[in-house]
Structure formats: C-alpha cells, structure tokens
Amino acid sequence: MNQAQPDADPAETAGGPPLANIRFMALAAILAAVVIVAAAIFLRFYDLAANPGAGLYGDESSEGLDALKMLHQPGFHPDWLVWFQDDGGREALFAYFVAGAFHLFGETALVLRGTAAAFGVAGVVAVGMLGRRFGTWTGLVAAAWAAGSLWLVCISRDGMRNTIVPLFGALALIALLRWAGRPGRGTAALAGAATALAALYTYQPLKLLPVLVIVWVLWLRRVDRPRYEELRAGVLPFAAAFLIVGAPMIAVAVTDPTNYFGRATAVSAFNPAVVADSSPVVHFVRTLGMFGFLGDQNGRHDIAALPLLPLPLAVVAAFGLARLWRRRSDAGHALILLSLPVFMLPPLVATEGYSPHFLRVLGLAAPLGVTLGLGAAELVEWSRRHWGVHAGRVAVWAVAIGLAAVTAWSGAAYLSRSVADRYETFSFQTAAMGRYANDHPGSAVIIDDFSATDIAFVYYHDQPAFFSPGTRIENPGLYSTVSALNRKDLVDALGPAAAGRAEPVAWDPAGEPAVWAVSP
C-alpha cells in the first residue's frame, strides 16, 4: 500500500550528516517558527487603529452591526442561528466571534478589525501545520509565506468574515489528511465535521470542499485502490458528521434558497445580467495573471497593483506543482494537487466586477502555502542534484532570504499607503459625517442605506436620524443639524434656501468638500 510519508527536509539533507544535525535543526525550526508567528502578529496588528483607516468598508460595518444587535437587541438572531439575510446574505460564524470580542474588549471598530487580525494569525499557524504534514521545511516555508503574503495581510486587517477562510480551510485539509493517514470511523467523522464547518459556515470559496472530497476519493480509487477501500469504509461516518454539523445551514438553503444562493448567482458568468470588467476569455487570462503579474483593482486589496503572488514565488510554486504531480499517487499530495484547480473555479466562474478578484480565490490560500513549501524543497533538491551540495545550501538560504524580503516588502507596501489611496474604499467621508453628527446631538444625516451601516455601527448607542438621498425632510426643525455628502441631497431634503446656508465640515485629501452640514 502506498503510505503517505513526509517529504525529506532539504535544509537537513543539503549537506552534512543528518543525524549529527538533528538537535541543531530542531532548535532552528523552533526559532524560525517563533520568528514567523511574530512577523504575522506584527503585520496584522501594527498601527491597526489607523490603517486601513478611520473609515469602514460596508461589509465590515455589517459584521459589526449584526454583532452588536446580537448583544443588545432582544430577539435578534440569525436565521437558524447561522445566516444573516442582509448584505447579500452572510454566514454568521465570524459575527459570533466579533460579538464575543465586543463583550470582552469593547464595542469598537478597532476590536472588530482586531478579531479579524487574530484569525489572520491563527490562519498562518494552521497553514504551517498543514504544511508540516509534508515535512518540517515545508511547514515553515508555508507558514512564512502566509505570514508575509501581502494578499493575506490585507484580508487579515479588514473586519470581514473572509479572514477566517485560511484557518478553517487549512483545518479541514488537515482533518482529511488525518483520515487518509489513519482510516477509521473516528477520523472519518472528524473529517466530515471539519469539512461541513469550513464549507458551510465561512465564505463562498470553501463551499467547493465537498466537491474536492468527492474528486479526491475517486482519484484514489484510480491510483491507490487499497487506500480507497479503507476510506470507503468511513464514508457513512463522514456523511453523518457532515450532515449533523451542516444541518442548520442546510436548513437555510432549503427554506430560503433565493437568499442563500443569491450572492453566488449574482456574480456568476451564467447570470446574463452580470456586469463584468472584461470578456470571459480576458477574465480567465487576467485571473491566472494574478500569479506573478496582475493585482486586484478593488481598493481593499489594490496595493500598488501588486499581484497575489510575486513572480519569484510563482516560480517556486511551479516547482511545487511538479513535485505534487510526480507524487500524485500519494493520498496527501493528491489532495493538495486536486485542491488547486477546484479552488480556482470560484474566481474563474465569478466574472462580476474586477478581475482578478482576490477574495474569490481565498480557498486556495492553504493549499497554495503547501505548494510553495513543497516547491522550495523541490528547488533545493534540484539545485543539489544538478550543481552539488553547496548549491543546495545556497538554495536554502535563497528561499529563506527571499521569504524574508517578501515579508518586509509586504509590510512596507501596505503600511505606506497614503490616506488618498484608502479614502474612497474605506468611506472616510462617511466616517467624517458620523463624527460630525455625533458631535452635534440630535442631528440627521442623508446617506444611502448601505453606507448608513458605517454610522449605525460606530454610533450604535447614539445614532443620528437617517434619511435616504432624495427624501424630503418634513420637519427639519426637529434636528440640530442636517449633513450630507453633497449639496444636492440637502436641496432635495430641505429646499434651496436652507441648503444655500450649508457649509463644508469635512474635506477629502485633495481639499475638496466631502461633507456639508446646515442647521435648519
């Protein structure tokens, strides 16, 4: 039977007797792990109060507002305790963690983003643990990449549920690998529960995890029949655990399919009304171009138009692909290999908006980390085979220095963004309007429903009155001030005379008025 075995660590085999280096290598691995986790913490928490900034992206405020409602609004809870219908439909798992953090540390935007950052650090550890299944070197490289990846740093500092995907994706793959390594009812049930939790309660990209499991088991039927037979004996415990853990979310999908499937349908290429930035062919090419060439144009992740994976790391990943393909008859390597095309489907099929779209490819985070770790091992061994032991040692140092450089570069690129680069994306003008209204008790604000959640969340216990743009305010004298993002909204709400007295109270980075206010 083909047993899954960890890959040899090239850092140990690049030169010198391995046994003589065991203690040194163990200490070096521990030190490296500590440094990696410290870097992950620094990049996700440093200056978090000021960057991304004073404003909030709309999806952030939706998470925070629902968490506050669960804490303070009697009778408020998600559908079947797991699903919010607002904001296009959302899994509630992250909001539960946010509510707990609010209870312990205070109800602020910083705590919201701090919760996301904590998940980001946990995701780095989990990706390293997944890589460790293939060897210490692979695990360290996977974790080092995850810690310093500009892509994952961006996602970890935004207070949205996307941040939990690397953690739960890695944990699900770890559970599946454990099932493959030790087939049995217990490991099968654990794998089924972890798959349900990650696939149904996190975010859209991981919904393909059950598809991955099916494809993987069928692949093993072809390449490793004895292992397949062992896993087949655990299919019922796997399915039972999956259904038990997934029952509440399955109930949501059955009772409210329009809302549950609405988000995925709305962004799909199969929706004739979808608004895309390019043709399907161009979208496909641009999405693949994120590996080394193209960045996400969405302001949340547009850091100087930098790609998801820098070109040198894309080359390392190519070495990893070669290694995975060569060892595709091994259950562990097959799982990682098959996960790459499966988790590429969401960004390829979802053509709405910009391409590439980094959030839609988040299911790839954990297996991509392992691919990079295996690629580093393959690169070192290839260098040693072709040019000797000293070349292998040089390759080890090149990988280590390269990962350190990427980490430093990621931090510098993210933290050096100007306010002008973040102003519109994170709604600084809406934050300024909220502060002005809060400084003038009894105020009203004119703002669209989606943007209003920013103010409703930050000032949950002392909200101003909200009016939609185009609405006429019948009794303006009831409010101490009325503010809007432009004069036209004030004209529609108060009439030309009152609007003519309005004055700017906040300005954008270019010095243009961003918020107007008047005392009726």
* Mean pLDDT calculated for residue range 398-416: 95
Structure tokens at 363: 């299911």
Residue 466 pairs with which residues in a beta bridge?
A: 445
- In this predicted structure, what is the pLDDT of residue 304? 87
Out of 420, 436, 471, a domain closes at: 420
- In this predicted structure, what is the pLDDT of residue 88? 82
- In this predicted structure, what is the pLDDT of residue 18? 54
Residue 504 belongs to a domain: yes
* Mean pLDDT calculated for residue range 294-319: 93
What stretch of H or E contains 117? helix 109-132
- CB within 8 A of 494, min separation 6: which ones? 473, 476, 482, 518, 520
* Strand blocks (E) in 144-184: none
Same-domain check for residues 175 and 289: yes
Residue 448 belongs to a domain: yes
User: Percent of the chain scored above 70 by pLDDT?
Assistant: 96
* Residue 149 to residue 141: CA distance in whole angstroms: 12
Domain count, the chain: 2
pLDDT-derived band at 2 (thresholds 50, 70, 90) equals: very low
Q: Is the pLDDT of residue 40 over 90?
A: yes
Out of 387, 420, 453, a domain closes at: 420
Out of 375, 401, 420, a domain closes at: 420
* Mean pLDDT calculated for residue range 226-238: 97
Residue 24 belongs to a domain: no
Nearest to 53 by CA among 464, 438, 485, 458: 458
Same-domain check for residues 171 and 67: yes
Residue 173, domain extent: 10-17+33-263+280-297+312-420
Question: Which of 22-31, 223-232, 413-422 is least confident?
Answer: 22-31
* Residue 334 to residue 329: CA distance in whole angstroms: 6
Structure tokens at 510: 């270019």
Question: What CA dihedral angle connects 389, 394, 400 and 406, to 10 degrees?
Answer: -140
DSSP annotation of 205: G
Is there a contact between 88 and 261 (Cβ–Cβ < 8 Å)? no
- In this predicted structure, what is the pLDDT of residue 308? 95
- In this predicted structure, what is the pLDDT of residue 140? 98
Q: Is the pLDDT of residue 4 over 70?
A: no
Same-domain check for residues 119 and 192: yes
Residue 353 belongs to a domain: yes
Residue 340: how many other CB atoms lie within 10 Å: 18
Is there a contact between 110 and 45 (Cβ–Cβ < 8 Å)? no
Query: What average pLDDT does the structure give for the chain?
Result: 94
318 phi and psi, to 5 degrees? -65, -40
Q: Is the pLDDT of residue 19 over 70?
A: no
Same-domain check for residues 413 and 460: no
Place of tokens 């144009």: 297
Residue 444 belongs to a domain: yes
Query: Measured in Å, how far apart are the chain's first and last C-alpha atoms?
Result: 81
Cα atoms in the 13 Å half-sphere on the side-chain side of 480: 9
* Mean pLDDT calculated for residue range 14-41: 81
Residue 5 belongs to a domain: no
- In this predicted structure, what is the pLDDT of residue 23? 80
Residue 189 belongs to a domain: yes
Question: What CA dihedral angle connects 428, 434, 439 and 445, to 10 degrees?
Answer: 130
Nearest to 358 by CA among 99, 165, 76, 115: 165
Q: Which amino acid is at 407?
A: T
Question: Which of 3-7, 279-283, 416-420 is least confident?
Answer: 3-7
Residue 506 pairs with which residues in a beta bridge?
A: 515
- In this predicted structure, what is the pLDDT of residue 276? 84
Place of tokens 């039977």: 1
Same-domain check for residues 360 and 499: no
- Give the C-alpha distances (Å, rounded to integers) separating 99 from 123, 145, 476: 20, 30, 36
Same-domain check for residues 232 and 287: yes
Is there a contact between 299 and 357 (Cβ–Cβ < 8 Å)? no
pLDDT tens digit sequence for 325-346: 999 999 999 999 999 999 999 9
* Strand blocks (E) in 332-413: none
* Residue 225 to residue 227: CA distance in whole angstroms: 5
Same-domain check for residues 379 and 499: no
Q: Is the pLDDT of residue 22 over 80?
A: no
* Mean pLDDT calculated for residue range 264-275: 82
- Give the C-alpha distances (Å, rounded to integers) separating 418 from 10, 121, 149, 412, 422: 41, 25, 20, 12, 7
* Mean pLDDT calculated for residue range 98-105: 98
pLDDT tens digit sequence for 236-259: 999 999 999 999 999 999 999 999
Same-domain check for residues 320 and 463: no
Same-domain check for residues 366 and 461: no
Same-domain check for residues 412 and 437: no
- CB within 8 A of 409, min separation 6: which ones? 150
pLDDT-derived band at 499 (thresholds 50, 70, 90) equals: very high
Give the angle subtended at the CA of 77 by the CAs of 72 and 82, to the nearest 5°: 135
* Mean pLDDT calculated for residue range 478-504: 96
Q: Is the pLDDT of residue 17 over 90?
A: no
* Residue 286 to residue 278: CA distance in whole angstroms: 9
Same-domain check for residues 505 and 441: yes
Residue 23 belongs to a domain: no
Q: Is the pLDDT of residue 156 over 70?
A: yes
- CB within 8 A of 75, min separation 6: which ones? none
Same-domain check for residues 190 and 49: yes
